[in-house]
Amino acid sequence: MKRAGRRGGGRPGAGRRGRRTHYHHGNLRRALLDAALALVERQGADALTLRAAARRAGVSQAAPYRHFRDKEALLAAVAEEGFRAMTAGMRRAAAFHAGDPLGRFQAHGLAYIEFASGHPAHFRVMFGRVAADRSVHPGLMQAAAEAFGLLVGAIRDCQEAGVVRDGDPEELALCAWSATHGLSALAVDGQLAQRATHLGELARVVTGNVLLGLGPR
């Protein structure tokens, strides 16, 4: 009776014996994504394998193949999730600046940096070389394009309001993204250790200077 009880109940991860076959399989994909994120955070994307993700999630080695054909597909799913979450955060931040295109533009940048610092494993996978070939992952490609499209749209709105100079909005967005992404990468890689407690303030300085550089001539 005790053995039957262990198979049917208990928390996920309660020993190898149950292999977590009691896992609620509607959550298998979520469990594998979480396992991948944990492994990336601890060991890096190069160390991730489907077998390691399965082991951490407590499922059989064959289970990941129900959702992901290989490691790259798993990483692409992690990256897509990251882009969608980041875009949602950028939209929420910009919503507080209705009628202020410059404020919305800066809010996008601040939300980007905040996401990166709060979700370093996602960020590393989103811009890592392992899932670099987005063309074979349409969902990832669409999610990444949507995030950059927000920035391009913000540039266009600022141009129409006369607060950003004329020019190709995609080129100007790329300039702004480069600065914002650079600060985010420095924060994620621990290169701002002495300034980590002031990252929000530093983010405002960087995005503010980007706005000055994009201002009308």
Tens of pLDDT, residues 21-80: 345 556 899 999 999 999 999 998 888 999 999 999 999 999 999 999 999 999 999 999
Asked if the model's pLDDT at residue 180 lies above 70, the reply is yes
Tell the residue number behind the tokens 């262990």, with chain if given: 6
Euclidean distance between CA atoms 36 and 49, whole angstroms: 8
Euclidean distance between CA atoms 189 and 117, whole angstroms: 9
Name the pTM for this structure: 0.83
Q: Each residue of 129-150: pLDDT tens digit? A: 766 677 789 999 999 999 999 9
31: tokens are: 């469990």
Euclidean distance between CA atoms 78 and 72, whole angstroms: 10
Contacts of 200 (CB under 8 A, 6+ apart): 110, 114
129: tokens are: 């070389």
85 burial class (0-12, 13-18, 19+ CB within 10 angstroms)?
A: middle
